[in-house]
Structure 1
Amino acid sequence: MSRNNSMYKEAFNRSLDYISMLGVKAKLPAEVELSENWGISRTTVRAVLHHLDETDVIRWSGRSKIILRKPKKADYFAQAETISSSAKVETRFMEYILGGDLKPGAILRESELVREFDVSTSVVREFLIRFSRFGLIEKEPNRHWVLRGFTRNFAIELFDVREMFEFRAFRHLLTLDPSHDTRARLVGLETAHRAIIADIDGQYLNFPRLDEQFHHIMINELDNRFIVDFFELVSVIFHYHYRWNKKDEPERNLHAAHQHLDIIAAIQAGDNDQALTAFQTHLNDARATLLNSVIWDSEN
């Protein structure tokens, strides 16, 4: 896979996180296991390993892959380079809605969005079709897309489903062996959380992506295509802050980051009851935050 590909760059960054978790002198597992751990093809795994070897992060010789040093910030691709065209459209669409202060009933023209986002018509159309499954936008027969708006009742219904799926995923996570890769990856996010907490004023905008990663780790472990598909869509609402008031975002993100650490600490201690309590508290606060922070469209 080309190193200009955003998917490759995102996979490479994930490999650096994995190496940081293992530590210097540790040995990377076989390519087939790395393919499963990183969610990429074996061809891409080999491309990543070549890159890691070139930059002296690892020494790769045959089946031997030994970690030589901890990754540095400069080793990572910039976040903007790891975002796919579809993900960029999600972000730009939310900015377009917020920045234009569009009201329910506003017309959304594909041709205008193509020019605004500088992507192909097919990418825009695919996103609008996926996003329309929320009911927030709708295609009028033989006409344009129409913004329907985001109501309080809609958010409550959405969160009810999110909570049901997430609790099932979290309970499943707690049944896994402590050495299981999924648990290790969730616990491995502790360092990233502490880095954001230590510089919350400068790093709070990076928390939504970390929050999404935290929740997706357990969701993906369920290996349920319907639940995974739901969370790919729900991230548009919860992680791009659709119609959210931004004035207290650093404080909200700081609070959520501390709650994540409480959950991680309980998992590390093997205290499932405390982990469940901490997770329920986190979801309760996330619901309250959403309902209290969103600028609601008319219920009529």
Structure 2
Amino acid sequence: MRAMSRPVGLPVLAESDLVRQVARRLTDAIVQGRLPPGAKVAEAAVARELGISRAPVREAARLLESQGLLKASPRRGFFVRELSSQEVDELYDLRLCVERHAAVEAARRLTPARRDALRRQLDLMHEIARRDDPATIVEADYQFHRLICEAAGNGRLLRLFDGLASELRIVIGLIGRLYDDPAEIARTHEPVLAAIEAGHPERIVAHVDHHLGVARREVVRLLESLAPPKPSRILPPEA
């Protein structure tokens, strides 16, 4: 008899829009590190834990595969995607391009309501940091950056950001591991918002470059440290 897979803390779902609800639960588990890169998403175990049939779990897995979070393996099922350090570096390269422009446009279009929304999100990040909840604060981090893209007023740019963020959600969970102090994540956003409020394009770009550049370097370094060592090359004996 096969042993049952270990639960990962997924709450039971109600009977409405099951596929999207399952996708959301699995995404949360990935972002929070409960389903780490390379982990198998066992349909039967997930369905049993959520109290539903396997069909919506399979559809949710296919949806997350299309978003780049899962990878299907023939006859083996779905696995949490493993991103290489090069792939993450490329994602951050594109993210820098998107968010530089978004932040400058957000400053140009900044209204009191949008400024208040950004301030409230930053206040929320500080509040979550005081509760010492790293998984939630990195999700709040994502929402802060998305608000900047929303404030830019460009729907296509927002969809581009969401596409990049979908892949980066695997990495977002690692961001919490870059800082021993959760409040540091919130503090690193203060200069970005201050520059947007001041409305100086050069200063905005400089702060976005620094903010994302630090995360880019550290996440790539962390991924490289987690990668298995490459096998040593065995040289043929000298004649």
- Normalising by structure 2, we get a TM-score of 0.67
What is the one-letter code of the residue matched to 2:204? A
Aligned to 1:163: 96
Which runs of no fewer than 5 residues in structure 2 stay unpaired? Answer: 1-13, 15-19, 232-239
Residues 1:113 and 2:46 aligned together = yes
Structural RMSD (CA) = 3.6
Match of 2:139 among 198, 205, 209: 209
User: Which residue matches 2:184?
Assistant: 255
1:227 Cα offset (Å): 1.1
Give the Cα separation in 1 of the matches to 2:192 and 2:167: 22
Residue identity opposite 1:291 in structure 2: V
User: Does residue 120 of structure 2 align to residue 188 of structure 1?
Assistant: yes
1:271 to 192, 200, 224: 200
Higher relative contact order (CA 8 A, sep 6+): 2
Paired residue type of 1:215:
H
> Using the alignment, how far apart are the partners of 2:82 and 2:160 within structure 1?
24
- Cα 1:120–1:286 change in 2 (3 A) is farther
Tell me the distance in 1 between the aligned counterparts of 2:170 and 2:28. Answer: 11
CA distance in 1, matches of 2:90, 2:122: 31
The aligned amino acid for 2:119 is V
| Pairs within 5 Å for 1:119-138 | 119-133=52-66, 137-138=70-71
Match for 1:280: what amino acid? D
In the alignment, what sits opposite 2:85? 152
Alignment-derived partner of residue 27 in structure 2: 90
Aligned residues: 208
Give the match's secondary structure for 2:188: helix
Contact 2:70/2:78 (<8 A) preserved: yes
SS at match of 1:240: helix
**Which one-letter code corresponds to 2:186 in the other structure?**
A
d(CA) in 2 for partners of 1:237 and 1:257?
20
Q: 1:193 touches 1:257 (CA, 8 Å); kept in 2?
A: yes
Aligned residue for 2:218?
Answer: 289
Q: 1:133 to 1:298 in 2, by over 3 A?
A: farther
SS of 1:188's partner is helix
Cα shift at 1:218:
2.0
Q: Deviations over 1:207-264 (max 9, x none)?
A: 11220110111223421264154045135223333xx784x5433x433321211122
Alignment of 1:11-90 (within 5 A): 84-90=21-27
Q: What is the letter of the counterpart of residue 148 of structure 2?
A: M
Residue 283 of structure 1: CA displacement?
A: 0.7
1:118-169 deviation per Cα after TM superposition (whole angstroms, max 9, x unaligned): 4553543343223324666433456633566332122122222222222222
Moved more, 148-157 or 116-125: 116-125
Return closer, same or farther for 1:298/1:145 CA change in 2, 3 Å cut-off: farther
**Partner Cα distance (1:173, 1:207) in 2:** 23
Q: Distance in 2 between matches of 1:264 and 1:237?
A: 25
Distance 1:254 1:289 in 2: 17
8 A contact 2:98–2:161 mirrored in 1: no
Distance in 1 between the 2:93 and 2:103 partners? 15
Normalised to the residue count of structure 1, the TM-score between the two structures is 0.56
Alignment check: 8 A CA contact 1:186 1:214 kept: yes
Question: SS where residue 230 of structure 1 aligns?
Answer: helix
